[in-house]
Structure 1
Amino acid sequence: MSISIKNERITKLLNEWYLEMRSRNRENAYNLKKQVDETIHNLKIEKEKSIDDQELLLYYSLLNFRYKYLVDNMSISKDSFRDIESFEIPKNSLLGYYYHFFKAIHTSVIGDYKDAREHFDTAESLLTHVSDELEKAEFHYKLGSFYYDTYQGLLSIKQVTIAKEIYLKHSGCETNITFCENMLGLACTHLKEWELAEEHFTTAMDQFQKMNVENYILMVRHNLGLLYAGQNLSQLAIRYLQEVNKKPGNYRALLIEAKEHFKIKEHDIAAELIRKGLEISKDLKLGEYIHRFMILDGMNKNLSTPEFETLVLAGKEYFEKEDLYTYIHESLEVLAVKYYKEGHHLQASEYFYLSKQARDNAQEMGALK
């Protein structure tokens, strides 16, 4: 078989694999992965490789990351992109777009939001190489997800709505439309539009239950737990989150559930959930969650104010770097209250002021630009 025909066939197979992943069809993606891995293994053991072969191996490595993200996004770590970085990255090409798009997804997951913003911007500039409208929808959806992660709810709704409108024009996009409903619900929680958020989550839950996809049902249960936690309905939130946390490894659900147990003074249960979540976050090298768990741990243990201050200021340094002003506002406010209750009004005043500044910055970031 000639090199060009061989590479054409491999590219076709990789494209088919990606389309199943982009459709969030886990079963079909899993079945195709076996065939893809065998084909790529044969390519790797060839003695001489052309430039085209190297690009195929890069494409495979990118899609392999995307597959891992599809089947278990909670296992993505700081090192999950390491193999890809060994390749030379084409600049103005479709492959360059995929690199920056997937790198944006990776850096978002691990909490490197400023890097993620840069990669989203670069990927957006390379959308000129993308002719597939559904790929553009995927880009808008993931950009909306990024805006949700960085507490920019209105921008999230804008991007996810663009994606949803594209999906609605095509057949076979029911799963992705439902993902948009779920993400719109999340964005509404940031905006404290509780009833609207619940409507979106209920729509998503109904659709995923009809599809009978357990992982996606658990995802919406998690988000309903988040919704009720945001309204201080701790017992209801815990009920949903306990279902999610039966499956190990979900550091996000562990954090939310731990916080709700802390609110209702179930400190021992909170401590165990914090321990599990912190261990996972350290293993995956997730700076954002390491700091969030440590601050919650300090609250749960009722550390002395100077000890708690050390945790809060360490978190503040990290959160400022990634523009996570909401977490700065929340943690500084807790610290200010501790100082106020102890009669240290000067320190309390300073931290109340800094907390207000962080809240103002968060509100400014969340505005529709």
Structure 2
Amino acid sequence: MYEFSKGEYIKAISFYRQAEKKLDKVADELERAEFYYKMSEIFYHMKQTHLSMYYVEQAYYAYKAHKTNGMYELKVIQCRFVIAGNYDDLCTHEKAIPHLKEAEESARNLGNKYMLAKALLNLGDSYKNMGDQDRALYFLVKAVDQAKESGAKELTHIYYELALLHFKKKEHESGKHYFELGVESAERFNDWFFMNLLNVLKALYLEGAKPSAVADALDALDDIRGYPYLEELALLAAEFYTGCEHMDDSVYFYNKMIYAQKQIRRGEFLYEV
């Protein structure tokens, strides 16, 4: 869990694999469920979707059987986030939305503003992936208030998504507004990963879109944690330069996207002996 928190996914999986060999000695179903959830979470972040789904299904049904206990209701919500994220990665967004709406309702009923902020953020992200930008903005704006009230570090992520969507809609001033809030939030939470993401938006939309500057900003995402974002943002850059009819630059960033996709696929072999 410590290695995972640092973004050292391969090291984390190595330890989790050792732990899994001892799991048959754990009699408590809910303790095993916690392990399965942790495995599903790390495989989700590595975009190993089917492995993540395999583990989260086991955790989900174990927690759901005990969800009358408020603590385990929170665990069900967390599982729904992973399930929905995997459905998004499989481009079956229509299957993600019901899980996120259930998570939103459960978080409201529990009065848990932190979980509610995450549910609204994930709903916004899913609708963004579906191409429904207006609905995505609706949920993300709602997420801001909940994140502020709960002190959630996810506030930086929300501002990043809002800035990205407004820039894509060519709403420059709104995009700049949320970009600045995102930078302020990233500094407050010492979140340098999202600062790197914001730097890509800065290079592309606020500093003249020089291809070399955008490429340099994207290079900061060239690691196992950053590849999914590198894939998304390289595609964004490619589409941007296509719109400007700078086709050589567009091709360069499409190739960056393909590179990120290849690195994500390689991830499933990095931890095998």
Q: Normalising by the residue count of structure 2, what TM-score does the alignment of the two structures yield?
A: 0.79
Cross-structure match for 1:121: 17
Cross-structure match for 1:213: 112
Cross-structure match for 2:212: 306
Match of 1:325 among 223, 227, 241: 227
Q: Offset at 1:133? A: 2.4
Q: What does the per-residue CA deviation read over 1:91-129, in whole Å, with 9 as the maximum and x for residues that have no partner? A: xxxxxxxxxx3x14522xxx3433433443344355466
Q: Offset at 1:259? A: 1.0
Cross-structure match for 2:136: 237
Distance 1:356 1:179, change over 3 A: closer
Distance 1:169 1:297, change over 3 A: same
Match of 1:189 among 88, 96, 103: 88
Equivalent pairs counted in the alignment come to 259
Is the 8 Å Cα contact of residues 45 and 225 (structure 2) preserved in structure 1?
no
> How many angstroms apart in 1 are the aligned matches of 2:225 and 2:101?
31
Distance 1:320 1:116, change over 3 A: farther
Q: Which amino acid aligns with 1:293?
A: L
Is the 8 Å Cα contact of residues 224 and 264 (structure 2) preserved in structure 1?
no
Q: Which amino acid aligns with 1:359?
A: Q
> How many angstroms apart in 2 are the aligned matches of 1:337 and 1:352?
9
Q: Which amino acid aligns with 2:143?
A: V
Larger radius of gyration: 1
Q: Which amino acid aligns with 2:120?
A: R
> How many angstroms apart in 2 are the aligned matches of 1:131 and 1:294?
48
Q: Offset at 1:241? A: 1.0
> How many angstroms apart in 1 are the aligned matches of 2:189 and 2:52?
26
Q: Secondary structure at the match of 2:209?
A: coil
> How many angstroms apart in 2 are the aligned matches of 1:276 and 1:215?
19
Q: Offset at 1:344? A: 6.3
Q: Offset at 1:350? A: 4.5
> How many angstroms apart in 1 are the aligned matches of 2:222 and 2:186?
19
Match of 1:271 among 155, 176, 190: 176
Q: Offset at 1:255? A: 1.3
> How many angstroms apart in 2 are the aligned matches of 1:241 and 1:213?
17
Q: Secondary structure at the match of 2:222?
A: helix
The runs of 5 or more residues in structure 2 that have no matched partner are none
Q: Offset at 1:287? A: 4.0
Q: What does the per-residue CA deviation read over 1:285-313, in whole Å, with 9 as the maximum and x for residues that have no partner? A: 4443222111022222142223223222x
Distance 1:169 1:305, change over 3 A: closer
RMSD: 3.0
Cross-structure match for 1:177: 76
- Structure 1 position 140 matched with structure 2 position 36: yes
> How many angstroms apart in 2 are the aligned matches of 1:356 and 1:105?
26
Q: Offset at 1:198? A: 0.8
Is the 8 Å Cα contact of residues 234 and 263 (structure 1) preserved in structure 2?
no
Is the 8 Å Cα contact of residues 185 and 196 (structure 1) preserved in structure 2?
yes
Distance 1:286 1:116, change over 3 A: farther
> How many angstroms apart in 1 are the aligned matches of 2:4 and 2:254?
35
Distance 1:155 1:288, change over 3 A: farther
Identity in percent: 21
Is the 8 Å Cα contact of residues 238 and 257 (structure 1) preserved in structure 2?
yes
Match of 2:202 among 297, 312, 325: 297
Q: Offset at 1:254? A: 1.4
> How many angstroms apart in 2 are the aligned matches of 1:203 and 1:141?
18
Q: Offset at 1:338? A: 5.9
Cross-structure match for 1:43: none
Cross-structure match for 1:88: none
Alignment of 1:1-369 (within 5 A): 101=1, 103-107=2-6, 111-125=7-21, 127=23, 130-170=26-66, 172=69, 173-246=72-145, 247-248=147-148, 249=153, 250-301=155-206, 302-312=208-218, 314-315=219-220, 319-322=221-224, 324-336=226-238, 341=244, 343=246, 345=248, 348-363=250-265, 365=267
Q: Offset at 1:143? A: 2.0
Q: Normalising by the residue count of structure 1, what TM-score does the alignment of the two structures yield?
A: 0.61
Q: Offset at 1:363? A: 4.9
